[in-house]
Amino acid sequence: MNPIKKDKRAGVGLHISSLPGKYGIGDIADSSLAFLDTLSAMELGVWQFLPTGPTAYGDSPYQPLSAFAGNANLIGLAPLVELGLLDEPDLDPLEDLPRTFVDYGNLIPLKRQLLKKAARRFLQRPAPAMRSDYEAFLHQHAAHWLDDYALFRVLKTQHGERPWPEWEKGFVRRHPEALEKARNEHRDDIECTRITQFLFWSQWKKLRDAAAGKGIRLFGDMPIYIALDSADAWSHPELLLVDEDGVPSKIAGVPPDYFSEDGQLWGNPLYDWDYHAETGYQWWVERMRHAASLNDLVRIDHFRGFESFWSVPFGAATARTGEWVPGPGDALFEALNGSLGRLPIVAEDLGVITPEVDELRLNRGIPGMVVLQFEVGDPEFSIENVEENSVCYTGTHDNDTTVGWFHGSGEDTRTTKEIKATQQRALELTGGTEQTIHLDMIRLALSSAADLAIAPMQDFLGLGSAARLNIPGTTLNNWRWRMLDDQLSAGLVHSTGQMITDASRALSMRLDCTA
């Protein structure tokens, strides 16, 4: 049942927005296609990235405006020029944007304007082949999610981008006459949103085909919860524990722990799991079907919430007043397997995990995660004990880079004594040096028996804390880091490929000797 192929594979973690390029943000067209060539040269067979849904406040990929739509900011613009949907000079303002980080405040309005222009040109004179593809796209997605999403985005703009529970009451409660009036008044804008999603889908399909042609698997990410301010919550409030005005009765979070004495309030509305059970978990079946159509593997964030979840009364000041509530458990995965067969998922099972959560995962053959930054400080940890049915990471998007973690940074919750102890333990386990710790930790991950080993691109590059992508619990200056073209030199690409080839050969010999 393990969805990861049995041949040992190495991968990289790099969000699409972090790819280099001259138009302010990485994209799913030219940027990504060029990166596939680099991955092949580096002997990397898996590319893991963050959720690709449309982002809103805070630019977090984990609070998307839709569980099904694509992030329009990731659409490549150069192909739109080639299609005649944009003119070359249209792209000039984007070349003035920074290349070392994503300046979302200036990028988003510029790109939104260009995509609207491209959509209007498509609407006026689409090429016959594209028209046929567009009709097929609408046939597959319009009724399921696209039409609701397009109307949601137009109404959100009409209401100053405020969350939908703050809209006019007729729209909040989806009165048919109010919705029909909005569809008639904003018909062109709604169609432009649908076309923009088609452009995303078209470029993604080319990316998926190109990756498959090179033997590279795309590894996506799925938040377990959806945002309250999303098209899904607005169009299907019955999925959630919310009232007719969009007010949740319970919200998600985690209890107090080592990192937070008050726990964490995530704010996401909780699912009405009784409703999902009555429908045979159909919404989840469609969500997973959609994710599998885009990716070869999908990591599900906060997997433990399927077994039990921390439920906090809406309006509570902290997460302390929450309680553990049973989740859907194996019934959900029975429905998913029954409809979709083997699930291409990996469980994010970090933190405090109970035997019941392990049992749920293992009964379905779902791989878990091992993050070396969390493990090497444990005197009892041994790389030989990493299970085959797992993905072994040096760190993730929520961690500091390995160089930053090794030396400690201003955001570190460890004491100086703990950092020193971790440094000593890391050097013992890797047999490496302070200067090469980033590569030594990658080699350690590759030496495990895990079916897959992944390191963030920042670790391959040996970058420090300034290249960190996200600091959990904060909302400013996250998700902005970008790689530069000259950081992936020919020498680094070659040496990485050789390192991975050598590590794969050494692991094969070791496993053969112990078989």
Q: What is the pLDDT of residues 422-440, one digit of tens each?
A: 999 999 999 999 999 999 9
Note the pLDDT of residue 2.
63
Tens-digit pLDDT profile for residues 112-129: 999 999 999 999 987 777
Type of residue numbered 388: E
Note the pLDDT of residue 1.
45
Furthest CA-CA distance within the chain: 72
Tens-digit pLDDT profile for residues 347-389: 999 988 999 999 999 999 999 999 999 999 899 999 999 999 9
Strands 368-371 and 250-254, by their bridges, are: unpaired
Tally of CA atoms within 13 A in the half-sphere of 371 that contains its CB: 18
Whether residue 406 is predicted with pLDDT greater than 90 in this model: the reply is yes
Length of the chain: 515
Residue located via tokens 């596939």? 36
What are the catalytic residues?
301, 348, 398
Cβ-contact 90, 114 below 8 angstroms:
yes
Q: How far apart are CA 269 and CA 239, in angstroms?
A: 10
Residue 483 zone, left/alpha/beta (φ > 0; ψ -120 to 50; rest): beta
- Which pLDDT band holds residue 514 (cuts at 50, 70, 90)? low
- Which pLDDT band holds residue 515 (cuts at 50, 70, 90)? low
Domains, the chain: 27-216 (3.20.20.80), 371-488+500-515 (no CATH)
List the structure tokens of 250. 């319970």
Mean pLDDT of the chain: 94
DSSP bridge partners of 264: 254
